[in-house]
Amino acid sequence: MEGVVAAVTANTDLWVSTMLRDEYGLPDSVRSAPRAALLTLSAFLACGLVPLIPFVLGLDHAFGTSCALTGLVFVLIGAVKSRWSTRRWWRSAFGTLALGGAAAAIAFVIGSWLRGLAG
């Protein structure tokens, strides 16, 4: 084992590459920044519109439907995110649901408070 460590650490570029890939799960190749930005914007718009769909469609119980759909989106985002991390899909999905749900609850409370101030 010491021989392997000595061989890897002797080549600094190989050492850093191995650490970034195996310890942090980062890709070997550098991705295109404009492409990443476009994909991020697209995902943000697609996922951000989901909570509005029940209201736009005028569904009964739009708030509850919106909450359920948003929760599903958070779970899906977390599950997909696990492909690039070391966490299991269900842990990543639950963590994203918890964090997103907390953020949504805080935004709801602040929005309710601001509505009360306005009128």
User: Mind listing the pLDDT tens digit for each residue in 85-94?
Assistant: 788 999 999 9
Residue 82 has pLDDT above 70, yes or no: yes
36-70 as b/e: b if 16+ CB within 10 A: eeeeeeeeeeeeeeebeebeeeeeeebeebbbeeb
The pTM score is: 0.68
- Tell me if 107 sits within 8 A of 118, measured CB to CB: no
- Mean pLDDT value across residues 46-67: 96
Instruction: Give the angle 97-112-100 at the CA atoms, nearest 5°.
Output: 10
pLDDT in tens, 1-25: 778 778 777 888 877 877 777 777 7
Residue 114 pLDDT = 93
Residue 112 has pLDDT above 70, yes or no: yes
Residue 99 has pLDDT above 80, yes or no: yes
| 2 or 64, greater pLDDT | 64
Residue 37 has pLDDT above 70, yes or no: yes
Ordered by start, the domain boundaries in the chain are: 1-30, 33-118
